């Protein structure tokens, strides 16, 4: 979608929003898949209500992107614009055991910055690509921990009230890869309370998690992490592997040889290829195990 109306363009400049015409979403997602649309980069949280009123008043549909690491975007010209927060400097401010973190901060860099200041707890998430906002909205987790356990306060743009709001951690429910945020809420910043731990000890935990991840996941390849959620008491990756589906391909979309719940873009995969592969694997698992796998990856299909 293109924003061409000079009145909207002028208003965006007034709101200090950077407008990038015809951005390729393939460049903004870890899968390297996705069509083109205008990208609106937001430098100040406070302008969000005005910005979204402007877009609504002009019938411009929009979606929010974080790090694009758990996202499968449709092909071709997309019917909505994409909003993204510009990362401020500094993006993490510490106060005792509390870390105030901007949603646009890189998750891994935030974990290492806190570690260097003897604040731990998040070691399991090292190596998970994406922003802190993205991790927060889906309650990212790994190796027995989840980000939600450390959340004390979240500042967000609430789609329902069309306002910026601040929620206490206990007003939010964090479940397995799911939170009580609405799909169109936009994470802005978070306060985490992290346990004190000597840097050396945190590093040891980080090293162990890195090794585990390296040995079981296709880290160097374009992927969106796990495609399906694990059903209660079962492992999607193990089931797909047991069915002998590693290497199964549609075009360049391919079930990883290393971890069967990772689907990789082995070259020029389209969203159509990836969606067909997902549907095919889901159907085979359903036929053989009677289990309907639920997507973990977020799909923006036009
Ligand atoms: N397994 C296989 N074959 C495979 C993959 C896995 O047999 O191809 C077996 C493993 O041997 C193991 C079991 O399945 O016995 C579980 O595998 P793994 O330990 O790799 O964990 P997972 O359940 O597949 C989950 C998360 C990952 C997270 C890891 C580590 C989900 C959907 N996935 O994977 O998160 O990194 O645990 O904690 O919850 C993600 O969210 O995108 C993600 C990758």
The model's pLDDT over 238-248, given as tens digits with 9 standing for 90+, comes to: 999 999 999 99
Q: What is the pLDDT of residues 288-300, one digit of tens each?
A: 999 999 999 999 9
Q: Is the pLDDT of residue 252 over 80?
A: yes
Q: Is the CB of 125 under 6 A from ligand 1?
A: no
Q: Is the CB of 226 under 6 A from ligand 1?
A: yes
Q: Is the pLDDT of residue 302 over 90?
A: no
Distance 214 CA to ligand 1 centre (A): 12
Q: Is the CB of 210 under 6 A from ligand 1?
A: no
The strand pairing partners of 158, in sequence order, are 163
The strand pairing partners of 89, in sequence order, are none
Contact between 126 and 206 (Cβ < 8 Å)? yes
Average confidence (pLDDT) over 11-38: 98
So what's the pLDDT on residue 190?
Answer: 98
Give the integer Cα–Cα distance in Å for 226 and 132. 18
Tokens of 46: 């406070």
Averaged pLDDT of the chain: 97
Q: Is 244 exposed, middle or buried (0-12, 13-18, 19+ CB in 10 A)?
A: exposed
Q: Is the CB of 66 under 6 A from ligand 1?
A: no
Closest by Cα among 144, 295, 283 to 230 = 295
Distance 238 CA to ligand 1 centre (A): 8
Cβ atoms within 10 Å, residue 88: 13
Give the integer Cα–Cα distance in Å for 121 and 141. 12
Measure the CA dihedral 98/100/105/108, to 10°.
0
- Mapping DSSP to helix (H, G, I), strand (E, B) and coil, where does residue 40 land? strand
Q: What percent of the chain is modeled with pLDDT above 70?
A: 100
| Interacting residues of 132 by C-beta distance below 8 A, sequence separation 6+ | 101, 102, 103, 104, 105, 106, 107, 110, 187, 190
So what's the pLDDT on residue 224?
Answer: 98
Closest by Cα among 178, 175, 174, 180 to 160 = 180
Best residue for ligand 1 mutational test, from 31, 68, 213, 216 (most atoms within 8 Å of Cβ):
216
Best residue for ligand 1 mutational test, from 261, 263, 264 (most atoms within 8 Å of Cβ):
261
Tokens of 197: 């731990």
Give the integer Cα–Cα distance in Å for 261 and 245. 10
Give the integer Cα–Cα distance in Å for 66 and 103. 8
Give the integer Cα–Cα distance in Å for 251 and 81. 28
Q: Is the pLDDT of residue 220 over 80?
A: yes
The strand pairing partners of 23, in sequence order, are 37
From the CA of 260, give the closest atom in ligand 1: 8
So what's the pLDDT on residue 212?
Answer: 96
């Amino acid at each position: 979608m293109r924003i061409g109306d000079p009145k909207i363009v002028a208003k965006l400049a007034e709101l200090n929003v950077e407008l990038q015409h015809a951005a390729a979403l393939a460049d903004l997602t870890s899968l390297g898949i996705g069509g083109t649309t205008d990208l609106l980069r937001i430098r100040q949280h406070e302008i969000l209500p005005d910005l979204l009123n402007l877009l609504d008043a002009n019938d411009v549909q929009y979606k929010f992107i974080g790090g694009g690491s758990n996202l499968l975007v449709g092909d071709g010209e997309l019917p909505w614009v994409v909003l993204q927060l510009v990362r401020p400097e500094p993006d993490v401010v510490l106060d005792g055991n509390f870390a105030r973190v901007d949603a646009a901060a890189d998750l891994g860099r935030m974990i290492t910055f806190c570690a260097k200041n003897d604040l731990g707890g998040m070691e399991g998430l090292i190596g998970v690509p994406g922003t802190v906002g993205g991790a927060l909205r889906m309650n990212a987790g790994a190796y027995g921990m989840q980000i939600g356990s450390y959340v004390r306060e979240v500042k967000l743009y609430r789609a329902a009230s069309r306002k910026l709001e601040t929620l206490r951690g206990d007003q939010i429910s964090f479940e397995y890869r799911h939170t009580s945020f609405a799909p169109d809420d936009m994470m802005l910043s978070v306060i985490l309370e992290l346990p004190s731990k000597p840097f050396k000890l945190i590093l040891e935990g980080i090293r162990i998690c890195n090794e585990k991840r390296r040995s079981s996941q296709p880290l160097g390849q374009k992927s969106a992490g796990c495609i399906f959620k694990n059903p209660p008491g079962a492992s999607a990756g193990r089931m797909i592997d047991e069915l002998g589906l590693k290497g199964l391909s549609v075009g360049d979309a391919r079930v990883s040889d290393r971890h069967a719940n990772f689907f990789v873009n082995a070259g020029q995969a389209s969203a159509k290829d990836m969606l067909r592969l997902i549907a095919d694997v889901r159907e085979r698992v359903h036929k053989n195990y009677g289990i309907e796998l639920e997507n973990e990856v977020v799909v923006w299909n036009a």
